[in-house]
């Protein structure tokens, strides 16, 4: 009788390893589901937080042994690919935030904000009451005034003349500002509002 030659195909070497890796992937996905459930629950709270902390457990009862570093890498990769901001703190703490999506939600999807944004007018013109126009103070104030039209209140200055470039240096200048030596009879702050 001829004996057959023992054989061990190279592809069969990874069968046991494939089963272990599939079991680990199942455990990682179980932890990822817990993370996503915690995010969903936190987002529905009345205070509306936009981040959570999650501690990845070193083991889960009923699931195969997990490599903690490998699990952290897998969870962080999956969360970042879904649009979350994830920060890792050694050995197993994750900070997960979705605050950067809140601005987009407020601008594009929030029903309250959407109700305040006017709809784009189509080929037809909008009619009267639906269109709001703002009137500013400049539109109703009348003609614009020039700086030369301003006259200062007389309570502060008795005599105001423009200085002359030809005034004598030694003498009191003819075109100068003089103030009254007498005590004022009214309140200075009240005079500010008189025109």
Structure tokens at 177: 């500002």
Long-range CB contacts (< 8 A, 24+ apart) of 33-38? 35/75, 35/79, 35/94, 35/96
Q: Class of the 14-102 domain? A: alpha beta
What whole-number distance in Å separates Cα of residue 3 and Cα of residue 169? Answer: 133
**DSSP strands (E only) in the chain:** 51-55, 85-89, 93-97
Structure tokens at 14: 């990874």
pLDDT of residue 101: 85
Q: Which sequence spans correspond to the domains of the chain?
A: 14-102, 151-195
Strand partners, 27: none
Q: Are 99 and 50 in contact (CB under 8 A)?
A: yes
pTM for the complete prediction?
A: 0.54
Phi and psi at 109, nearest 5°, equal -120, -15
Half-sphere exposure of 91 (CA within 13 A, CB side): 5
Q: Spell out the residues 6+ positions from residue 28 whose beta carbon is closer than 8 angstroms to its own.
A: 66, 70, 71, 74, 75
Local confidence pLDDT in tens for the 195 residues of the chain: 578 899 888 888 888 889 989 999 999 999 999 999 999 999 888 887 899 999 999 888 888 888 899 999 999 999 999 999 999 999 899 999 998 888 888 888 888 888 887 776 555 555 555 555 555 555 556 677 777 777 767 665 565 555 566 655 555 555 555 555 555 566 666 666 665
Q: Are 20 and 65 in contact (CB under 8 A)?
A: no
pLDDT of residue 93: 95
pLDDT of residue 177: 53
């Amino acid at each position: 009788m001829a004996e057959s030659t023992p054989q061990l195909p190279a592809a069969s070497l990874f069968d046991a390893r494939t089963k272990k890796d599939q079991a680990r992937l199942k455990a990682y996905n179980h932890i990822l589901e817990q993370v996503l459930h915690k995010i969903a629950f936190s987002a529905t709270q009345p205070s509306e937080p936009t981040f959570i902390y999650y501690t990845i457990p070193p083991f889960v009862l009923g699931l195969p042994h997990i490599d903690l570093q490998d699990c952290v890498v897998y969870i962080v990769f999956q969360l970042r690919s879904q649009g979350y901001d994830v920060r890792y703190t050694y050995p197993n703490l994750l900070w997960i935030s979705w605050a950067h999506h809140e601005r987009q939600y407020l601008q594009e999807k929030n029903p309250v904000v959407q109700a305040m944004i006017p709809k784009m007018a189509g080929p037809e013109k909008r009619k009267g009451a639906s269109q709001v126009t703002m009137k500013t103070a400049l539109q109703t104030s009348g003609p614009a005034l020039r700086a030369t039209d301003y006259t200062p209140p007389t309570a502060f200055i008795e005599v105001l003349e423009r200085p002359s470039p030809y005034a004598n240096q030694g003498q009191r200048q003819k075109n100068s500002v003089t103030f009254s030596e007498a005590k004022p009879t009214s309140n200075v702050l009240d005079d500010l509002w008189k025109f």
